[in-house]
Amino acid sequence: MGLVKSIIQLDVVNSGENGVSVGAFYHSEIICTYNFYSEKKPHNMGKELILATLTSWATIDLCFVDLIEIQYPLTQVSQDYILKHFNYIMPNYEYTHNNDRAKISFTYPASDISSFEKLVLDKEKYLLGYTGGKDSTLCNIILQEAGKQVTYYTISYDDDNHAKDGHIDISIKNKYLYEKLSRLGIEKNSNYVSFHQADDIHPTFVAPYYDLNSTTPANLVVGLPWDVIHSFKDGYTDLVPTETYGSICILEEFYKDLGISNFRVISPIAVLHSFGVYQAVKQLIGFDRLMSLDSCWNSYMFKGEQCGTCPKCQRLKVIYEYSFNSDYLDWAPSININIENLFGSIYATSVLNKHMDIQWNKGFILDWESLKLVDEFLPTLMKLLNFPLINGENLQINFKSDVQLTEELIKDIVSKININYNNLLDKPISEIMVPWLPFEEDYNWNRQNRVLNCYGRIPLYDDKNKKWEEIIIEEHGPKLILPDLEVFRRWLNKDNIFSFSPELSKFIPEYN
């Protein structure tokens, strides 16, 4: 089916007591919904904040269709915010995707904000989204050292259990249409590598203000490091536009225009490179506790352990090598991914290549954006950490995004999977019977390069129990004793295979 003229209608599909959802429709067929769930009773301005930011997220996700029609009433302030944010982000996406942006229209005339009472937030209080990860842990240490009055909130995403302060997700109703029409779908079906995060940052930032009142903290503390917050002189943003300082300013202006005073976004780690965040956490709480904070996109699949292959694990391999000269998850290979894709940042890569004389894991990088976002917390950071000051104004980073083909990654991964298919292949089975592996989603995996393109009994060494086990793959469908990903993880450990069962070395190409 060809999509000749792609006109998308956005409409509110839920605006009840349990949250807000915006649906995207193509010829009356629902494509997906952008959702915020909450059990809290909303303030009318809090509801407008959520509706506007969900709408902004939808327009960015569907930015390459011909026309987006927004078919529900919004205030003039919300309409202005949606258009301004869209136009701020699109130069980057038009350049990197070589595509033209959608037009946006509003079916309903803009309403005024006369029904909204002006609200003054408490500027002595601070809100921190505390996840227990490195960024929020470091932010919390800085806030406590500065003696700030902190309120913590948690937001959940996707398949996680719903958090008390809100849950954000996108629900795909028609996968075919979504992959044809959305920016993420277009990326997925392209030949280019991209690990861009979803554009749901603004709904995340406004979520704790859904039920706002005059006692709600004015200061929203976020963990954005130095390498993600910048834009370039020619109008482009870094690779994750919604995390940049310019995007944050648009959100702050939206609050102000809506009649909410004192709101601001602060990042106490804005003067630290991502490498520096890890170095700082290690110095403040120790290496062992730092390791315990590590996260993985696929850990939910096997009891919280790292998979070693997802972009998050691969990013940490780069960080630990640079910052600590340590091989993070030494059983997992380093996949040859462009660093800018791993970090979502041209700045992260460029400074490493252009300024190798600077220790990026041990310095406070001062430029206009980082000083604005760190604000009053720079003295606290300097008290906690004996890092030198680095002048970031003269780094001269230019917007240039290097293209990497997915075929490069697939060949690299295949070369690091130590299964000789010629020896293991008994009889090909239907593709629908092949167990799904998480790195298929991360790296546009070509299913012709299957890890389990066979059936029968495959031996695997169990590192924890120090014994060999078997995975059974039946001819009419896989019946796995262990999680699918364990096949990949354990066959990567060549030393274990060679030491404990040398007769299996014939399955490992380099030992043949």
| 457-494 pLDDT tens trace | 555 555 566 666 665 555 544 444 444 445 544 444 55
Could you tell me if residue 396 is inside a domain?
Answer: no
Percent of the chain with pLDDT over 70: 77
Could you tell me if residue 490 is inside a domain?
Answer: yes
For residues 48-55, average pLDDT? 98
pLDDT at 445: 54
Q: Are 233 and 340 members of one domain?
A: no
pTM: 0.84
More confident residue, 261 or 471: 261
pLDDT above 50 (res 328): yes
Q: Distance from CA of residue 302 to its chain's centroid?
A: 20
For residues 236-243, average pLDDT? 89
Q: Are 442 and 483 members of one domain?
A: yes
pLDDT at 499: 60
Cα end-to-end span (Å), the chain: 48
Average pLDDT, the chain: 83
**Locate tokens 């970090």: which residue?**
343
| Residue where a domain stops, chosen among 301, 330, 362 | 362
The listed range with the strongest mean pLDDT (54-63, 339-348, 350-359, 406-415) is 54-63
Q: How many helices (H) and strands (E) does the chain have?
A: 19, 18
Q: Of the candidates 83, 85, 73, which has an alpha carbon nearest to the alpha carbon of residue 104?
A: 83
Q: Are 177 and 95 members of one domain?
A: yes
**509 vs 512: CA distance, rounded Å:** 5
Q: Are 350 and 421 members of one domain?
A: no
Question: Please, are residues 359 and 212 in contact by the beta-carbon 8 Å criterion?
Answer: no
Q: Are 232 and 138 members of one domain?
A: yes
Tokens of 431: 């593709």
Q: What is the pLDDT of residues 33-42, one digit of tens each?
A: 999 999 999 9
Q: Are 259 and 326 members of one domain?
A: no
pLDDT at 171: 95
Q: Tell me which H or E stretch contains 8.
A: strand 7-16
Count of CB atoms situated within 10 Å of the CB of 402: 11
pLDDT above 70 (res 185): yes
Angle between helices 76-97 and 245-258 (to 10 degrees): 170
More confident residue, 417 or 25: 25
Instruction: Give 205's contacts (C-beta < 8 A, 6+ positions apart).
Output: 53, 220, 222, 251, 265
pLDDT classification of 311: cutoffs 50, 70, 90? confident
Q: How many domains in the chain?
A: 3
For residues 109-136, average pLDDT? 91
| Residue where a domain stops, chosen among 235, 266, 297 | 266
pLDDT above 90 (res 138): yes
The listed range with the strongest mean pLDDT (3-7, 120-124, 458-462, 469-473) is 120-124
Q: Are 18 and 148 members of one domain?
A: yes
Could you tell me if residue 171 is inside a domain?
Answer: yes
pLDDT at 105: 98
pLDDT classification of 89: cutoffs 50, 70, 90? very high
Could you tell me if residue 307 is inside a domain?
Answer: yes
Q: What is the pLDDT of residues 413-463, one digit of tens each?
A: 666 655 444 444 444 444 444 444 555 666 655 444 444 444 445 555 555
Question: Please, are residues 361 and 273 in contact by the beta-carbon 8 Å criterion?
Answer: yes
pLDDT at 95: 87
**429 vs 477: CA distance, rounded Å:** 8
pLDDT above 80 (res 502): no
pLDDT at 291: 87
Tokens of 137: 């842990």
Q: What is the pLDDT of residues 199-230, one digit of tens each?
A: 789 999 999 999 999 999 999 999 999 999 98
Listing DSSP states for 369-431 in one string gives: HHHHHHGGGHHHHHHH--PPEEE-TT----------BHHHHHHHHHHHS---HHHH-SS---G
**102 vs 181: CA distance, rounded Å:** 11
Q: Are 103 and 238 members of one domain?
A: yes
Q: Are 261 and 292 members of one domain?
A: no
More confident residue, 168 or 502: 168
Q: Are 485 and 351 members of one domain?
A: no
Strand order in the sheet with 477-479: 456-462, 467-474, 477-479
Angle between helices 134-145 and 274-285 (to 10 degrees): 60
Could you tell me if residue 355 is inside a domain?
Answer: yes
pLDDT above 80 (res 128): yes
| DSSP-derived pairing of the beta strands 19-26 and 167-172 | unpaired
For residues 56-73, average pLDDT? 97
pLDDT at 66: 96
Percent of the chain with pLDDT over 90: 52
pLDDT at 320: 93
Read off φ and ψ for residue 491, nearest 5 degrees: -70, -20
Angle between helices 274-285 and 311-324 (to 10 degrees): 70
Could you say which DSSP state residue 64 is in? T
Could you tell me if residue 189 is inside a domain?
Answer: yes
Listing DSSP states for 9-36 in one string gives: EEEEEEEETTEEEEEEEETTEEEEEEEE
**355 vs 205: CA distance, rounded Å:** 33
**Locate tokens 């546009």: which residue?**
444
**2 vs 429: CA distance, rounded Å:** 32
pLDDT at 37: 96
What is the residue range of 324's domain?
286-362
pLDDT at 491: 46
Question: Please, are residues 5 and 65 in contact by the beta-carbon 8 Å criterion?
Answer: no
Q: Are 99 and 205 members of one domain?
A: yes
**59 vs 101: CA distance, rounded Å:** 10
pLDDT at 302: 53
Tokens of 171: 């629900």
**7 vs 10: CA distance, rounded Å:** 10
Q: Are 325 and 420 members of one domain?
A: no
Question: Please, are residues 507 and 494 in contact by the beta-carbon 8 Å criterion?
Answer: no
Could you tell me if residue 273 is inside a domain?
Answer: no
Could you tell me if residue 400 is inside a domain?
Answer: no
Lowest-confidence pick of 133-147, 220-234, 348-362, 439-453: 439-453
Lowest-confidence pick of 111-125, 325-339, 358-372: 325-339
Q: What is the pLDDT of residues 270-284, one digit of tens each?
A: 999 999 999 999 999
**Locate tokens 């262990």: which residue?**
482
| Residue where a domain stops, chosen among 301, 328, 362 | 362
**24 vs 2: CA distance, rounded Å:** 18
CA angle (276, 282, 288) in 5-degree steps = 145
